[in-house]
Structure 1
Amino acid sequence: MAHATFLAALGFFVSLLPGQSPARKTDGALNQDVISTPFLYQIDGKGTSGFLYGTVHLPDKRVVTLPVSVVAAFDGSDRFYAEIEATPESEARGQAAAQLPAGVKLPQLVGADTWSRIEGQFIKAGYPAAMASALSGMEPWAVSSLLPMIDYLAELQTNPPLDKMLYQRAAADGKAVAGLETIEEQLSVFQGFSRDEQVTMLRDSLDLLDKYEAEGRKVMEEMIAAWMSGDSKTLVSLLDDGFGNDPEIRERAEDEILWKRNHRFAERIESEMSAHPDKTSFFAIGALHLPDAPAAEVGPDAPLTNDATPESRPAQLGVVELMRRRGYTVTRVEARKPEPAKAGK
């Protein structure tokens, strides 16, 4: 269930890490690319305004170095919202929920062959094999979520991902901070799948990582490149690999992780903006929550609610379009260049 789509959609993975990660081998190289067109939108209407920012939940330097337009919007906002609260209490609840029951270990659930493949991923990433052992007490969905970001596990122990960095900065600046959903609501996405289904998703994650390796591709590099491009179509193209191989599980995962949560986000963004009309709010959520599914799958009369019968799916709309259908004007914010230094400065 993991991969590029999964990672862009959820922001709490760092809270699942069981303790300090051992150091891994790295060449220390940094890519100095800049973001030309950030996924930043201004929301106006009904007597209030705010900003919507599509993020990637990673600590990569290219990601956490904010464009000028994002800094201006963030600094000019009074309230900040992430997907969930970035607090020790919330992270502790996430860690507890990701643990298997006492006496149950992941190698028993997945079998020797699959466990060996998990260990192999850590070894290829430059970690000691013992690192995988630290995950042996975690639920299959949690390990499936962490595998695609394996290159960042050590860095996540010391450097916060973009969303958490923004949350901490907002709190330090004295802004009101909150989450659009609770950690329990995010966890319910996974807990609705049986353990057997979770194991299937975990094996699909491993299959995709093997496929990418054989093709000479890096899943996180593709995600970062798509995000930095500012091109929604490029970003949405990563959906194709994002939800595994089983058609029924794939559809359910897509609905639970993206489309249903998009409706919830839009509803709560409107609620918060309405509750604080004289304040400017800044909402930071995973970038894949912003665009719609391919146009052919979204009708003009798609409902604004999460309601769906067993025979239907929730409207496959992104938060940008959902806010427009709620009566707001949502405008992409143009990139801004840094102001030139003044003489004598």
Structure 2
Amino acid sequence: MKIKFSLSILIVFILLIGCNSSKSVATSNKSSKLENSLLWKISGNGIEKPSYLYGTIHLTCDYTYTDKLRKAFDETERLVLEIDMTNPKLQADMMKLIFMEKGKTIQGMMNEDDYKTLSDFFKEQVGVDLKMFNTMKPFAITATLTSKMAVCDNGTAYETEFMKIAKEQNEAVIGLETIEDQMNVFDQIPYDEQLKSLVEMANTGMDESRKSFEKMTKYYNAEDLEGLLNVMTEQGLEADFQESLVDQRNRNWIPLIEKIAKEAPAFIGVGALHLPGEQGVINLLRKQGYTVEPVY
């Protein structure tokens, strides 16, 4: 698979989902336009009590526990996220997966000039020597830099806040996939491509990435799923990458969501870009016979 990759795509993916083919995401995701809403009610087709589906963002300065969110949590009994963040082995499992194969290093995959450019940039932004990440997968560097994009000091993730609510309400937390599943997704992006994009980011500066973050945040806060999808299209996400990073995962989740929703009402929070499009969770659930409608 030939990949046309930009760091902006990976950043958007990290924030909204926890990259040459001739067919782009715009074509593969063509479907009827969705109303502007991040919260969707799932009912019908054997579900006794409705469940709710919410499109999350993994870094925000604008988290608000709205009345409609409160009502949805009050009406449901379990919290469903992409991964079960209450798993006590989560951190240990992640650390096992974050390192590259024995003998492979970040510095060894880069020429001297590019490594110095990235190292200086990383130290400036994070305050840590890049050598500490030398045996880790490039994704670890990207994720660390992504966390610095918020223009506020109190940035948070919707998943983090939802976990607090679930704990207060003594609700179980269910994961749709494992941390290994998620890390395998990023392993499909060649390391050298990831590093080239990191150097490009270092050369252009954090301001450009923050502009992309602000643009994405604007659409997210407007609850405009179609606008978010267009941002991804503009960044050049190709169909093969869309298939492995988003569409296939969505299809894997549908039978799990069906089973969970039929057992008991659930609040389901997944990255916002999993919701729109022909292969989006909303449309896939509708194809299975469920009524999925926006909550205003």
Q: Check whether TM > 0.5.
A: yes
Select the residue among 3, 14, 17 that pairs with 1:7: 14
Amino acid across the alignment from 1:182: T
Distance 1:140 1:93, change over 3 A: same
Q: State, as a whole percentage, how many aligned pairs show the same letter.
A: 26
Counterpart position of 1:122: 122
Q: Secondary structure at the match of 1:254?
A: helix
Counterpart position of 1:174: 170
Amino acid across the alignment from 2:178: T
Counterpart position of 2:275: 290
* Aligned residue pair count: 269
Amino acid across the alignment from 1:318: G
CA distance in 2, matches of 1:82, 1:162: 10
TM-score by length of 1: 0.69
CA distance in 2, matches of 1:181, 1:259: 14
2:254 is the counterpart of 1:253: no
1:42-70 CA distances to partner (integer Å, 9 max, x unpaired)?
01112322000000011x330x3222211
2:260 is the counterpart of 1:263: no
2:226 is the counterpart of 1:238: no
CA distance in 2, matches of 1:320, 1:206: 37
TM-score by length of 2: 0.79
| Residues 150 and 210, structure 2, Cα contact 8 Å, conserved in 1 | no
1:165-218 CA distances to partner (integer Å, 9 max, x unpaired)?
31243134211211011111112212345xxx2221332344357558686952
Q: CA shift at 1:90, angstroms?
A: 1.6
Unpaired runs of 5+ residues, structure 2, are 19-35
CA distance in 2, matches of 1:243, 1:202: 18
CA distance in 2, matches of 1:153, 1:134: 25
Deviates more, 1:207-216 or 1:171-180: 207-216
Q: CA shift at 1:322, angstroms?
A: 0.7
Distance 1:155 1:180, change over 3 A: farther
CA distance in 1, matches of 2:202, 2:74: 39
Amino acid across the alignment from 1:54: G
CA distance in 2, matches of 1:216, 1:280: 39
| Residues 5 and 243, structure 1, Cα contact 8 Å, conserved in 2 | no
Q: CA shift at 1:152, angstroms?
A: 5.2
Q: Secondary structure at the match of 1:181?
A: coil
Deviates more, 1:216-225 or 1:66-75: 216-225
| Larger relative contact order (Cα-Cα within 8 Å, sequence gap ≥ 6) | 2
Distance 1:206 1:320, change over 3 A: farther
Select the residue among 177, 192, 202 that pairs with 2:195: 202
CA distance in 2, matches of 1:78, 1:257: 29
Q: Secondary structure at the match of 1:174?
A: coil
| Residues 41 and 52, structure 1, Cα contact 8 Å, conserved in 2 | yes
| Residues 266 and 323, structure 1, Cα contact 8 Å, conserved in 2 | yes
Q: Secondary structure at the match of 2:269?
A: strand
Q: CA shift at 1:102, angstroms?
A: 4.6
Counterpart position of 2:97: 97
Counterpart position of 1:329: 291
CA RMSD between the two structures: 2.9
CA distance in 1, matches of 2:234, 2:121: 19
